[in-house]
Amino acid sequence: MRTVIKEKYGDYQVLKLKERPIPVPNEKQVLIKVRASTINAYDVHLVKGDPFPVRMTAGLCRPKNNQLGCDLAGVIENIGSKVTKFKKGDEVFTCLADGNGDDAYSDYVCVNEELLTLKPRGISHEEAATIPMAGLTALQSVRDFGKIQPGQKVLINGATGGVGSFAVQIAKLFGGIVTAVCRTEKEEFAYSIGADYFIDYTKENLITSREKYDLIIDVVGNHAFSEYKKVLNEKGTCVMVGFSSISHMIKVGWDIFRTRNKQQKIVLSFAKNSQVEDLEFLAEKMNDKKINAIIDQTFSLSDIQQAFQYFEAEHLNGKVVISE
Ligand SMILES: NC(=O)c1ccc[n+]([C@@H]2O[C@H](COP(=O)([O-])OP(=O)(O)OC[C@H]3O[C@@H](n4cnc5c(N)ncnc54)[C@H](OP(=O)(O)O)[C@@H]3O)[C@@H](O)[C@H]2O)c1
């Protein structure tokens, strides 16, 4: 079978397609024929070993795990002797992300049954694969860290990428009034995924907005909390999802500490990737057409380098999918 290998950190030329034997599941695992995966900023960090703190878990000088890919959708082809929840032929999806076990950019993977969620028949493997990392991050940021309430004004900075396009749809699902921050040419797209208002970050600094928000979801990390306070309601919460630099990360840590007992606060979104019930929730909403999978472009596994280049170079609407 084919699998994507990275033997060192570097640019996307380090990604090579190699032949390997099909893995054999242990007693609690299933063997999955991978039908689709996606690219996340997380995968880019693991290819490049950048930002540096990534290497604390992924390997200081060289990657500990030379495979890659965390989002996964596929079909079960074989099961271990103690597997009880799934059978051959079941269509499943999951998030493998733990920095060292990721191997979804492969023809086959073995996964512990506890991590898997049944894919509804009404959504494709490509659509299901968009959900795990981006969808879970958006859901947990808006619902759990942001504690959204119906009627609240929500600002989403970075609204049209992988996490942002889910966050807009999820905030609407929970009754939020959503302002999407994105570039000029994304206006129509932002409204199409449910945004009520639009701020063009190439023309207007969101910090000068006269509007006050109850909840800010920041996927970009290009504003300090001291700036966000100007557009945050007195009891508002700012959820930090993405970071622009290590110094920004440190500053956010300090702001979280300083505001921990304040009404107007900043919190860190640290998504739990193995939340099966959250994956089921999102898949159900997608099956019921309450949330849509937003796929910008699909690449085959053999074009993995081009797929990563596209992910980095283009201003995406939603996700880049890797198909068989
Ligand atoms: N905390 C967690 O658990 C967690 C989990 C997953 C991801 N993340 C982080 O979340 C971030 C986003 O991930 P993603 O997969 O959504 O990436 P992505 O698909 O590349 O999206 C990034 C978004 O940021 C926008 N953007 C760039 N510059 C901007 C600016 N100056 N003002 C406003 N928007 C701007 C982009 O819009 P344009 O293309 O129009 O510029 C795009 O919509 C990454 O930093 C990732 O590491 C965190």
Beta bridge partner(s), residue 179: 155, 197
Q: How far is the CA of 92 from the centre of ligand 1 (A)?
A: 27
> Does one domain contain both 211 and 126?
no
Here the CATH number for the domain that contains residue 250 is 3.40.50.720
Residues 220 and 283 in one domain: no
The reply to whether ligand 1 has any atom less than 6 angstroms from the CB of 217 is no
pLDDT at position 98, please?
66
- Alpha-carbon span 222 to 157, nearest angstrom: 9
Cβ 41 under 6 angstroms from ligand 1: yes
CATH of the domain at 95: 3.90.180.10
Atom of ligand 1 nearest to the CA of 201: 32
- Assessment of whether the complete model's pTM goes beyond 0.85: yes
| Domain stop point among 268, 296, 314 | 268
In a structure prediction context, what are the per-residue pLDDT tens digits for the chain, which is 324 residues long? 999 999 999 999 999 999 999 999 999 999 999 999 999 999 999 999 999 989 998 999 999 999 999 999 999 999 999 999 999 999 999 999 865 578 999 999 999 999 999 999 999 999 999 999 999 999 999 999 999 999 999 999 999 999 999 999 999 999 999 999 999 999 999 999 999 999 999 999 999 988 999 999 999 999 999 999 999 999 999 999 998 888 888 998 999 998 888 899 999 998 887 789 999 999 999 999 999 999 999 999 999 999 999 999 989 999 999 998
For residue 318, which atom of ligand 1 is closest to its CA? 19
Question: What is the number of domains present in the chain?
Answer: 2
The CA distance from 92 to 253, in Å, is 37
- Specify whether 148 is located in the same domain as 247: yes
pLDDT at 247: 87
212 with 292, same domain?
no
Cα 289 to ligand 1 centre (Å): 24
| Domain end residue (candidates: 268, 285, 314) | 268
The parent domain of residue 113 ranges over: 2-131+273-323
pLDDT of residue 273: 76
**Domain identity same for 253 and 300:** no
> 161 CB less than 6 Å from ligand 1?
yes
Q: How many CB atoms lie within 10 A of CB 194?
A: 18
In the prediction, which pLDDT does 99 show?
53
Q: Is the CB of 135 under 6 A from ligand 1?
A: no
Three-class DSSP category at 229: helix
**Contacts of 51 by beta carbon, 8 Å cutoff, 6+ apart:** 45, 243, 245, 246
Question: Can you give the pLDDT at residue 272?
Answer: 83
